Homo-oligomer: A and B are copies of this chain.
Amino acid sequence: MTTQIRLLLADDHPIVRRGLRAVLETEPDFTIVAEAATAEQAVSAAAAGDVDVVLMDLQFGDGMSGDQATAAILAQPGAPRVLVLTTYDSDADIIAAVEAGATGYLLKDAPPDELGAAVRAAAAGRSALAPTVAARLMNRMRSPSVALSRREIEVLDLVGQGLSNHDISKRLYLSQATVKSHLVHIYAKLGVDSRTAAVALATEHGILRR
């Protein structure tokens, strides 16, 4: 017989927690030891120690985000595995979660049996990725990793807010020449030739927050 897998559910939606509980409790080898409605609660519950796998949502209403909580949990000795379970699959979310050390990444529209399989995989240290997520990761590996510098992101963010070069130069205490220079570098790195295209691509790739 297999050993029991002890689970922690971290999601800010009570309804989702109830649904997960209903789905997972039908499996005899799963035990739900705790629930967390905030990322902070998840971190302290995981620190208590008697957890094998954390089912972690990425979006919490306020406070710490799911990927931050994931990193905090995994930073502790004897940390459990973290299986990210979220509604949508933006590039930024995925890479943030993977970088934080998540063992797997599932979407909430996954069928229940797939969920159980992913939990067992995570408990065994194997990674479980939803197909669309895997595809996105491959995509990211193939494309030359677009690494903008901090300053460039700062400029591009203001561009995305609709500011002109002149506005940006005042906001950042720069000359317009510098702003333009940053933009030239940004365009080169992203392979585009206009501010709107740069913003569109950066948003799509999760470099910018909406």
CB closest residue in chain B, given A198: B162
Judging by beta carbons under 8 Å apart, are A22 and B16 in contact? no
Q: Which of A43-51, A65-73, A107-115 contacts B (4 or more CB under 8 A)?
A: A107-115
Query: Which listed residue (B15, B20, B164) contacts A112, Cβ 8 A?
Result: B15
On chain B, the residues within 8 Å of A15 by CB distance are 16, 19-20, 23, 108, 112, 115
Asked if A123 is at the interface of the complex by the 8 Å CB criterion, the answer is no
Closest 9 CB pairs of A and B: A162-B197, A19-B19, A15-B19, A18-B19, A162-B200, A18-B22, A162-B196, A13-B108, A22-B22
Judging by beta carbons under 8 Å apart, are A109 and B210 in contact? no
Determine how close the nearest CB of chain B comes to the CB of A48; give it in whole angstroms.
25
